[in-house]
Every structure is written in C-alpha cells, then in structure tokens.
Structure 1
Amino acid sequence: MHSLRLAAAVLPLLLSSCMLGPDFAPPETPLPAKFSEGAKQSVGDVAVSAWWNSFSDRTLNQYVATGLDKNLSVQQALERINAAAADVTITGAGGLPNLDFGASHTICKARDVTSTQNISGGQLSLTGLLDVFGQYRRSTESALASLDSAHAAVDVAKLALIKDLVSSYIDARYYQQRVSISRANLKSRQETYDLTNFQLEAGAASRLDVSQAEALVQSTIAELPSLELNFRVSAHHIATLIALPSEMVVKQLQKNEGQPVYRGKINAGIPADLIRNRPDIRQAERNLAAATAKIGVAEARLYPAITLSGSITPSYINQRGRRGDISKWSFGPSLDLPILDGGRLRANVETSKSAAAAAYISWKSTVLTAVQEVQDALTAVRRDVRTVNSRHRQVETTEETLRLSVDSHKDGASSLLDVLDAQRQVSSAQSSLATAIQKLAKDHVQLNVAIGGRFAAPMVASPWVEASRVSQQMQTSGPTRNSRALHCGMF
C-alpha cells in the first residue's frame, strides 16, 4: 500500500518533467581565423565603445547622445520589449492552475405560494493542466527567447541610428567644406576676372580672355546652390533622427565648419568576435532558439492532454418553514486525445521544423554577411588613407602651380589661359581631397558598425526606461529535422 502511495506521488513529478522536442545548442559555422587584411588578436567586447568620440567633435557627440535618447525608431524597439515581456507572462500563465470564484443570490416566489424563497450560492472551481509533455514549458522557453531577441533588436536599432546619424553628419560637414572651397575659389576667380577687365581696358588683354575668366566665375557661382541644398538636406535628416527642429540643427552646424577626421586605431578583431558583438547576430540566434522551442510545442500536441479540475458549490436556502445548507463538490481528471485530425498536427510539427531550419540559415547568412562587411570596410579604410595622403600632395602641388602661373602671367611670360587652367586644377584637387576625407570618415563608420561597436547605454539621462531583461540561459535546440525522443528526469 505504501509503495502504491509513493508511486502515485512520484508519477506526476516524473511526468511533469518530460519535454518533447530538441534542446537548443548554440549554432556554429566555420569562420576564418582572421580577416583578410586584419590581425589575429581578439578585439574583446566593443559593445561599450563610444567609437564616434574618436572624431573629437563635440557637436557630433551631442547629436549621438540626443539621438539615443529621443530617436523614435529606438523608442519603438524599446516598446517591443514590453510587449515581448507581456507575452512571456501570458504564455507562462497557460501552464498554471486557474482558480475562479462566483457568487449569486436569487429571490423567487410562486403565484400560489405565500412565502418567498431566498437562495444564496457560490462556486469555487480549480482547473489545472498537467504539462506532461512540456507544451507550456516549451512555449515559455520560446517566449523568453523572443524577449531576448527584442532586447537585441533595441541594440540593432541603436547601431543603425548611430551609423545613419554619424554618416549624415559627415555628409553635412562635407558639403559645408565644398561650399567653403567654392566661395574661396569664387573670390580668387572674381579677382582674376576684375584684373582681366582692367587689362582689357589697358589693351593688355583680349575680349576672349575676359569671356573665359567670366565663364569660370559663373561656373563657380552655379556650384553653390546644389552644395547648399545638399547641406540642408543632410541637416534636415539629422534633425529627424534626433527629433529636433531642423532650423535649430542648421544654425548649430553653421556656427563652425571643418570635416570630421577619425583619429582612432584600426582594430577589427577576429571573425569569432562578431558572434558576441554584433546585435543582429545575437538577434538571429535568439530567433533560432524561439523557433526551435516551438518544435517541442508542436510535438506535445500530438499526445494526450490531461486536465485536473475540481469545484465546490455551497448554497443556502431561506424560506418560511425551510432553512438549510446544500454543498456540492466534484473533482476528477479529463483526457483529451487527438485521434483523427487529417494530419494537421503532424503537419504543424513539420512546419515548426522547417521554420527552425530557416532560422538557422538566416543566422548563418547574418554571420557570413557580417564577416564580409568587416572585410570590405577594412579594405576600404586602408586604401582610403593612401588616397587622402595623395590628395593632400595633389592640393599642395596645384596650389604651387597656381602661384607660379600668376607670377609668370604678371611678368608676361605666360597667358591668362595658364592661370585659369591652374585655378581649375586647384579647385578640382581641393574638391577631390574633401571627397576623399568624407569617404575615409564614412568607411571608418562602416568598419566600427560592422564589428558591432556601439554604446550600451544612453550618454544622457533618458525618460525612456528599458524593460527589465529576463535572462535565462536555457538548453535549447538547433534546427534538427529529427527531434529527439522524450527527455524525462526528476526536477
């Protein structure tokens, strides 16, 4: 008798610890030991690196801090964390007992009866599902992985914001620099035009010389509206990203000029670092964990569902000549066994397996794309440096050529055409240098974003508080199409 009682007590514990479906194991894919133009040293955790500080630009730092605090895309991602956390609660509640209480009071009187009958009653019912095959535990596992994915999505949104914001700032400063170059060239060309007009009146220049000098002045004037437009478009985009009035941003940018120059070191780490540092890879891995857990949910629905339910219904009757209590109670299990469903449940299992396999492919694709992005950015940065150095030398050479041409023209040893051509070369060289500096800065941005560099928390106080993270390291599954059999064990 004692052994039967012991078995009856232990059996529910054994059954409640059995879960169908594969357990999750972190996915793997072959990766090179180093990037094609990188070193073999790990970069460590760059997720807390405010790499944009390497531009040494206070205005840029202020914009990034404001964007992390006020950007609408980031705020939307934060709200999705709240929804995902609520889904964890909803999913977990499905496997918990439900307790309901109800009460009633009835007054009745028959037409041919003089007395009135009062009936007071209540009902207390308890229903609980035995999660024998782990349907609700797998569902909770999937919901927790989705919550982790929502947290990673916030990091993805922050990284995308920083990339867009810093790149737009670099563009705005580039167009400011181009405007400054054009205005300086316009001043020089206007002086040449005035000098040519004076020489025409003195008979030392031809009308052709004047026309050529004037054409160069007009072409420079024609450049300015387009450059000013592009500057304002970039400034307007910055204002949108940080949720500030556009005119405020335009006025802030107009207070000073100068292209941002990245002064940080090039340290891309190794490909394995990306698994830890890239938020999109972590998000894909958590999506895979959520999809894998759903295989167990689908498989559990192939098996019986056992429900224990009980209720107590007390009532009190008060009538002239009759008073008393009546209590009813009931308790017992119920079994729900799917027999004929047209193959729907098994098709759901195959669908879940296919979704998990697709999630693994998505994770692998994200990893390989990340490796390519780092290698492309590394290649670009290393070559951009050489280009910028060459453009600097080109500007110095053309400016020296212009000085020599002007002196030679004043001495009558060369024509005005030589001076105008030298001015064109200086203008072209200065514009090319500005473009090279812009590209180098943006490629540095691309490299830091590609390795997952971001700032883990806003740099200024933010009214938007992230939901508390539910972090539970679970042994979940890779996308195997042949799920393992029942895993049973004592709690």
Structure 2
Amino acid sequence: MTKPLVLVLALALAGCTVGPDYERPAAELPADLGMTTAAAAVPQKWWSVFNDPVLDALVDEALAANRDLKAAAERIEQSRSQLTITRAAQFPDAGIEAGSSRDKASAMGAFPLPSDAIYSKTQRLVISANWELDFWGKYRRASESARAELAASEAGRDAIRNTLVGDVVRGYFAMRALDESAAIAERTLVGRSKSLELQQLRYDSGVVSELELEQVRSDVQGARALVPAIYQRRLRQEGSLAVLLGRAPKDVFNAKLERGISTEPAVEVPAALPSELLLRRPDLRQAEEHLKAANARIGVARAAYFPSISLTGFYGGESQQLSDLFKATARTWSVGANLLQPLFAGGQIRGGVDLENARTREAALQYVQSIAIAFRETREAIAAQSNTREILEAQRARERSLSRALELARLRYDNGVYSLFELLETERQLLVVRLEAVDADRDRRSAIVDLYQALGGS
C-alpha cells in the first residue's frame, strides 16, 4: 500500500503546469527622457522641494487619514486573504468525523431478524482526508493569479497615494492662488470705490457728465461682483482639500486650513534618464499585474481538459458500544484514489479557455495603452516646465508694463489729455492681467507636480 502512495505523491510533485508563462508585451520605448542635468537627486518626498512646512504637514495629514487610501489598504488585505484561500486548495483537507446512530430493522422483512437484532447502535469516530492532486498545475496557476492580484492591489494603493499627494499639492496652491486673486479683487474694489467718490464730487460740481459717472459706477459694481465670486471658488477649494485630508464632517464644514509661504524650485529632468524608469510607475505596475493574473487564469481554464486525480481516506474506530470505540478490534480505515476525465461538457471548457484568452489579450492591450499614456503625460510634463515658466515671466512683465501704463494714463487724464473711457479700459486690462499672472504662477507649480507624478511620484 505504501509504494503506490509514494508513487502518486511523486507524480503530483513532478506534475506539469499547463498554460502559458507570462511574457511582458513588447513595446517600443524611447532611449531616455534626457534634458538638462539636474543639480540634485529627486527627494523621496518630492513635495518638499517647495520648502513649505505647512504644505508638508497637509500632505502628511492626508497620507495618514485619507479614506480612499485607507480603503486601498483594505483592498490589499482582501487580496492577501484571497491568496490564502486560493493557495489552500493545493493542500489536503482533513477533519474529524464523529457520529452516533440508533437503527431499527423491520421484523416483517423477507429474512426475519431475531428480536435482539432488530435494534442496533453505531458509534463512529474517524479522521478523514481528501486531496485533489494538482497534477496539471490548476491550483498553482490559480495561486499565481492571486499573487498577481495582490501585487496589483499594492500597486493600486501606491497609485492612489501618488494621486492623493498630487491632488493635495495642487489644491493647496489653487487655494493660495484664490487667496491672492481675492486680495487683488478687494484692492481693486477699494480703489474703484474711491474713484467713484471722486467722480461723484466732480459730477456734483458739474465737471464731469452723468455718462462718465455711470461708467465709473459700472466698474465699481463689476469689482463688487468679482469679489464674492472668488470667495465662492475659494470656499469650494477649501472644502475639497479638507475632504482629501480625511477630516471629519464637522471639520470639513468649518474647512479651516493654514497657509504657508513656498519657494519656486528649479526642477529639471536628469540627463539620460532611462525610459524603463516609467515602467515602475504604480499605475503601470498595477496594469501589468492584472495582465499577469489574467495570463495565469488561462492555465486554470486549460486544466479542465485534463483528468482530476484525488486521494481520499479515513482512519478511526466504529463500534456498537461507546466503550469499545477505541479498542483495536474496532479499528476501521479506507484509502482510495479517484480519477475523473471530462468527456463532454457542451463546449463549456473550450468557452472558458477562449474567455480567459480574450481577457488576457484585453489586459495586454490595456497595459500597452497605459504605457503610451504614461509617456504622453511625461512628454507634456517635461515640455510644461519651460512653457509655464515662459508664460509666467511674460505675464509678470505684462503686469509691470500695464502698471506703468496706468500711472501714465492717470497723469494724462488729470491733465485732460486722456479720456475717462481710456483710463477705465487700462484699469480693466490691468485687473485681468494681474489675475492671469496669479493663474500662471499656479499653473507653473502644477506643472512641477505633474512632472514628479509622471515620473512615478519619486
């Protein structure tokens, strides 16, 4: 009896694994992402390049309390538990079976029993085991798929973390930009209100016409409408940022957020940065692990073509009296092997294999598409470093020029050379340019965030 069991175990351990082994899809990548050589390596906490302690504290708060990030951690635990469940199928199942029964046979049967044999009792206690041998690698492929899904969930958490940090940093600078825009709008309203008071005096003195007075009044009302509009945008931004930080509903409603002072770092891409670095991005790792899992499930589906081989057995005791259950004469045992070869399943097995093949091809296409998107984002982020810098410099220069132009326009208006309409138009242009300069500064900082995120957040 021992030799056949040893032989079966040896065959089980040496069994083949059906299904294709994973191979990364071919994708043509650029040689590198090189630009100007960076003066220093990218820090692990890349947002620290802005040198803003308040921003650093907000990011730390989000990483500790954000609910989406916590949910991603729970998905990792789910995948880890699923791997444990799946891997358990590779090992035998064993259990203890206990039973007690009392039976009565018919006294009127074809073979009448003596009166003392009509009633019987049976006591049974055995250890039973069942093991389906993974001869074709079905369960090994299933475990391989579960491990890949676990790795995908871990990469998914990293992707959420990367996105979360980027959203917090962008939201912080958007909030500060709205603070600056609100201050500009408030100063503009104060200045135009003073101009209206002066024009009212001139109108009362008959120096200016009602047309000129109403033009100034219109600009005051325009500034007055702009201020609450910016306040509302800032309120929405503060609320969104408070939710990202994982704060309680009460704190979200209050949305009290600190502001700090940031520096503008000089961000450069290291020269000859290998393009394979992008393949370590969390979203690309997640897509590849999903592909690995789908590829492994092909083997699970193909294993259904082959016979399933299982071993069963039990060992224990059985007797009529409980006191006799553990005697040597009450011993009972059984060892057996079963083999089931599918013959006809109405196309179910073939359909299952075709289904997993199609899912794997889809996952491969999605993975290559993710790579293409990653390189597109990186290309745009690299170009944005110089483009947003040039836009910001041009907007600041334009603001300086218009500020000087407004000074000259007021002098000419006071000397009667310039019309009120021309003066008001210069003021309107300066307000627009100042707000655009604030937006350009926000976009410049967002471009820095985009670059770090495009490179995988590290």
C-alpha distance in structure 2 between counterparts of 1:248 and 1:62, whole Å? 19
Task: Give how far 1:270 is off.
Answer: 4.1
| 1:380 corresponding residue in structure 2 | 384
Report Cα offsets for 1:446-479 as digits up to 9, x if no partner: 222121115xxxxxxxxxxxxxxxxxxxxxxxxx
- Find 1:136's aligned residue among 123, 131, 139: 139
| 1:420 corresponding residue in structure 2 | 424
Farther-moved stretch of structure 1 (391-400 vs 341-350): 341-350
Change (3 A) 1:96 1:422: same
- Find 1:25's aligned residue among 23, 26, 30: 23
| 2:268 corresponding residue in structure 1 | 266
Change (3 A) 1:337 1:126: same
Task: Give how far 1:45 is off.
Answer: 9.6
Task: Give how far 1:312 is off.
Answer: 1.9
Q: Is the 8 A contact 1:74 1:154 kept in 2?
A: yes
- Find 1:100's aligned residue among 72, 95, 118: 95
C-alpha distance in structure 2 between counterparts of 1:300 and 1:326, whole Å? 41
Report Cα offsets for 1:321-356 as digits up to 9, x if no partner: xx9742221112111111111222122222222221
Partner SS, residue 121 of structure 1: strand
Matched, 1:288 2:324: no
Task: Give how far 1:43 is off.
Answer: 12
Task: Give how far 1:233 is off.
Answer: 0.6
Task: Give how far 1:44 is off.
Answer: 12
Superposed, which structure 2 residues align to 1:70-149 within 5 Å? 70-106=65-101, 119-149=122-152
Task: Give how far 1:280 is off.
Answer: 0.7
Task: Give how far 1:142 is off.
Answer: 0.9
Higher RCO (CA < 8 A, seq sep 6+) = 1
Normalising by the residue count of structure 2, what TM-score does the alignment of the two structures yield?
0.87
Matched, 1:246 2:242: no
Matched, 1:357 2:361: yes
Q: Is the 8 A contact 2:129 2:312 kept in 1?
A: yes
Task: Give how far 1:115 is off.
Answer: 13
C-alpha distance in structure 1 between counterparts of 2:195 and 2:424, whole Å? 8
Superposed, which structure 2 residues align to 1:14-413 within 5 Å? 14-17=11-14, 18-35=16-33, 38-39=34-35, 49-106=44-101, 119-244=122-247, 245-249=251-255, 251-253=256-258, 256=259, 262-267=264-269, 269-276=273-280, 278-318=281-321, 325-413=329-417
Amino acid aligned to 2:200: N
Change (3 A) 1:30 1:230: same
Q: Is the 8 A contact 1:39 1:270 kept in 2?
A: no
Q: Is the 8 A contact 1:176 1:257 kept in 2?
A: no
Partner SS, residue 306 of structure 1: strand
Partner SS, residue 237 of structure 2: helix
Farther-moved stretch of structure 1 (190-199 vs 209-218): 190-199
Q: Is the 8 A contact 2:123 2:322 kept in 1?
A: no
| 2:112 corresponding residue in structure 1 | none
Task: Give how far 1:11 is off.
Answer: 6.5
Change (3 A) 1:15 1:113: closer
Change (3 A) 1:44 1:132: farther
Q: Is the 8 A contact 1:143 1:290 kept in 2?
A: yes
C-alpha distance in structure 1 between counterparts of 2:268 and 2:322, whole Å? 91
C-alpha distance in structure 2 between counterparts of 1:287 and 1:434, whole Å? 42
Report Cα offsets for 1:137-164 as digits up to 9, x if no partner: 1111111111101100101111222222
Task: Give how far 1:166 is off.
Answer: 2.2
Change (3 A) 1:115 1:308: closer
Partner SS, residue 414 of structure 1: coil
C-alpha distance in structure 1 between counterparts of 2:132 and 2:227, whole Å? 74
Q: Is the 8 A contact 2:132 2:311 kept in 1?
A: yes
Change (3 A) 1:41 1:150: farther
| 1:480 corresponding residue in structure 2 | none
Identity of aligned residues (%): 26
Amino acid aligned to 2:365: I
Partner SS, residue 383 of structure 2: helix
Q: Is the 8 A contact 1:21 1:293 kept in 2?
A: yes
C-alpha distance in structure 2 between counterparts of 1:76 and 1:209, whole Å? 61
CA RMSD after TM alignment: 3.1
Amino acid aligned to 2:434: Q
Partner SS, residue 252 of structure 1: coil
Normalising by the residue count of structure 1, what TM-score does the alignment of the two structures yield?
0.82
Task: Give how far 1:27 is off.
Answer: 3.5
Partner SS, residue 29 of structure 2: coil
Task: Give how far 1:10 is off.
Answer: 6.0
Partner SS, residue 263 of structure 1: coil
| 2:110 corresponding residue in structure 1 | none
C-alpha distance in structure 2 between counterparts of 1:446 and 1:365, whole Å? 19
Query: Number of residues paired by the alignment?
Result: 441
Task: Give how far 1:367 is off.
Answer: 0.4
Amino acid aligned to 2:252: S
Task: Provide structure 1 residue ranges, at least 5 long, that are not aligned to the other structure.
Answer: 455-491
Q: Is the 8 A contact 1:117 1:318 kept in 2?
A: no
